[in-house]
Structure 1
Amino acid sequence: MTKLLEQAMDAVRQMPPADQDAIAQAILSLLSPGEADEIDPDHLQDVIEGLAEIDRGEVATDEEVEAAFRSFDRGTSSSPTGRSAVSGRPRPTSRPIIRVPRTM
């Protein structure tokens, strides 16, 4: 186990059990990328509408996505160095691919 992962696990051990379970579920889902997550029935219509928007090409531009992420940067400005203003780590240069299994 890497030192960083050990630090993360130490931090998780300090969390309440419900939060520990949420972290564990997130880790396990990352290890099984081919499996689909269950969708809360209350959110199913929103998910279907979102998939239809993607099919129609109604997606955010790179600039809109960047602006949205900057708004989450805890009130700090975007760093011109390419590093996160929050963690100081380099920002990823490639965009993740989001796969949504379609079984409908």
Structure 2
Amino acid sequence: MTDLLEKAVEAARRLPPEAQDDIARLVLVLSGEIVEPVAVNAEDRDAILRGQQAALRGDFASSDEISALWAKHGL
């Protein structure tokens, strides 16, 4: 295990159980251990559909909006 992964695992240990499970699922998906679809609740499904519809319309953030977002977070 790399130092970075060990650091990430230590950070994950301090998170609530739900967040730990989210991280575990991501690792398992990235490693190919989980290949089945992940259950999505109605609220998340609606958000995904809204995002897909916006993308189909070409509704993307402008360069100015992205720059403002980065600046807001000091990046």
TM-score interval (norm. to shorter)? 0.5 to 0.7
CA shift for structure 1 position 5: 1.0
Higher relative contact order (CA 8 A, sep 6+): 1
Partner of 1:27: 27
RMSD over aligned Cα atoms: 2.8
Partner of 2:55: 54
Map 1:58-97 onto structure 2 (within 5 A).
58-71=59-72, 73=73, 77-78=74-75
TM-score for both structures, normalised by structure 2: 0.60
Question: How many angstroms apart in 1 are the aligned matches of 2:23 and 2:39?
Answer: 17
Partner of 2:46: 45
Question: How many angstroms apart in 2 are the aligned matches of 1:70 and 1:59?
Answer: 18
Number of residue pairs matched? Answer: 73
TM-score for both structures, normalised by structure 1: 0.49
Percent sequence identity over aligned pairs: 32
CA shift for structure 1 position 6: 1.2
2:43 partner SS:
coil
**1:42-100 per-position Cα deviation (integer Å, ceiling 9, x unaligned):** 343332232122112111123322322443x2xxx33xxxxxxxxxxxxxxxxxxxxxx
Where does the alignment leave 5 or more consecutive residues of structure 1 unmatched?
A: 79-104
Equivalent position amino acid for 2:66 in 1: V
Where does the alignment leave 5 or more consecutive residues of structure 2 unmatched?
A: none
Partner of 1:100: none
Equivalent position amino acid for 2:2 in 1: T
Partner of 1:5: 5
